[in-house]
Amino acid sequence: MSIKNNIHSILNSIPENVSLIAVSKTKPVSTILEAYNAGQRAFGENKIQEMASKYEELPKDIEWHMIGHLQSNKVKHMAHFVHLIHGVDSFKTLIEINKQALKHNRIINCLLQLKIAKEDTKFGLSKLDLEHIVSSEEFTNLKNINIKGFMGMATFTKDKSIIRAEFKALQNINSIFQKSNTFNFNPSIVSLGMSDDYKIAIEEGSTMIRVGSLIFGERNYL
Ligand SMILES: *Cc1c(COP(=O)(O)O)cnc(C)c1O
């Protein structure tokens, strides 16, 4: 199977309202170009500096999605071009994103990462954290960010019932908060699902899937 075929077979198997982010972390620009030439424009990376150097080298109509855990001090390296930041999991990071966005006179779109997996290694906000953030006075001062929805990662397990229950939990929170709309909080995107679980994610309301190995093959970590 070629990258082109992989992309097209995924696109053919998902509803029109679901968008595909091709997760290109660890892959060279030549490989990303293959996907680009097959029509793919949205790419996801999990390291800010790796994404920034790929941005420099690749066509400028690519939408770059930051899907990894964020270090506040590195936000400045992507503030001028990032399309959507998926993994925002603290108020501190949100304040830094707002500050860097202001410097570039941009509004940066973000998703808040919710902790749905039981594993300690997975990051994310609880429903209570989320309530505190969006109801705070300080949040209304963040004029250069726009929260467009939520992101989650399920527990790493073969047990599909656990994965499904975790996706449902995120969708539950989403349905509560989707009613609230302010100038910087407009949840409509649900970023859920990877190579192994994107079908379940779509059944549970995902509107954005993040797929790497199914498109590009297994990753080789050095
Ligand atoms: C690596 C990664 C993906 C893609 O994983 P695959 O199993 O290769 O599809 C999706 N989301 C996040 C946050 C990732 O880090």
Which atom in ligand 1 lies closest to the alpha carbon of residue 153?
13
Q: What is the pLDDT of residues 148-180, one digit of tens each?
A: 999 999 999 999 999 999 999 999 999 999 888
Q: Could you tell me the distance, in angstroms and rounded to a whole number, from the CA of residue 136 to the centre of ligand 1?
A: 32
Q: Are 75 and 93 in contact (CB under 8 A)?
A: yes
Q: Burial level of 131, CB count in 10 A (0-12/13-18/19+)?
A: middle
Spatial separation of the C-alpha atoms in residues 134 and 116, rounded to whole Å: 19
d(CA 75, CA 84): 12
**DSSP-derived secondary structure letter, 115:** -
Helix (H, G, I), strand (E, B) or coil at 104: coil
Tens of pLDDT along 10-53?
999 999 999 999 999 999 999 999 999 999 999 999 999 999 99
Average pLDDT over the chain, rounded to an integer: 95
User: Residue 222's pLDDT is what?
Assistant: 52
Q: Which of 26, 112, 210, 214 to mutate to test the pocket of ligand 1 (most atoms within 8 A of CB)?
A: 210
Q: What is the four-CA torsion angle of 32, 102, 186, 180, rounded to 10 degrees?
A: 150
Residue 220 has pLDDT above 90, yes or no: no
| Strand blocks (E) in the chain | 19-23, 42-45, 63-66, 84-88, 108-113, 145-151, 185-191, 208-211
Taking CA atoms only, the protein residue closest to ligand 1 atom 7 is: 195
Cβ atoms 35, 217 nearer than 8 A: no
3-state secondary structure of 59: coil
Sketch out the chain's domains with CATH numbers.
Answer: 3-216 (3.20.20.10)
Q: What tokens appear for 26 in the block?
A: 């660890």
Would you say 100 and 82 are in contact if contact means Cβ atoms under 8 Å apart? no
- Mean pLDDT for 92-112 is 98
Q: How far apart are CA 44 and CA 8, in angstroms?
A: 18
Q: How far is the CA of 210 from the centre of ligand 1 (A)?
A: 6
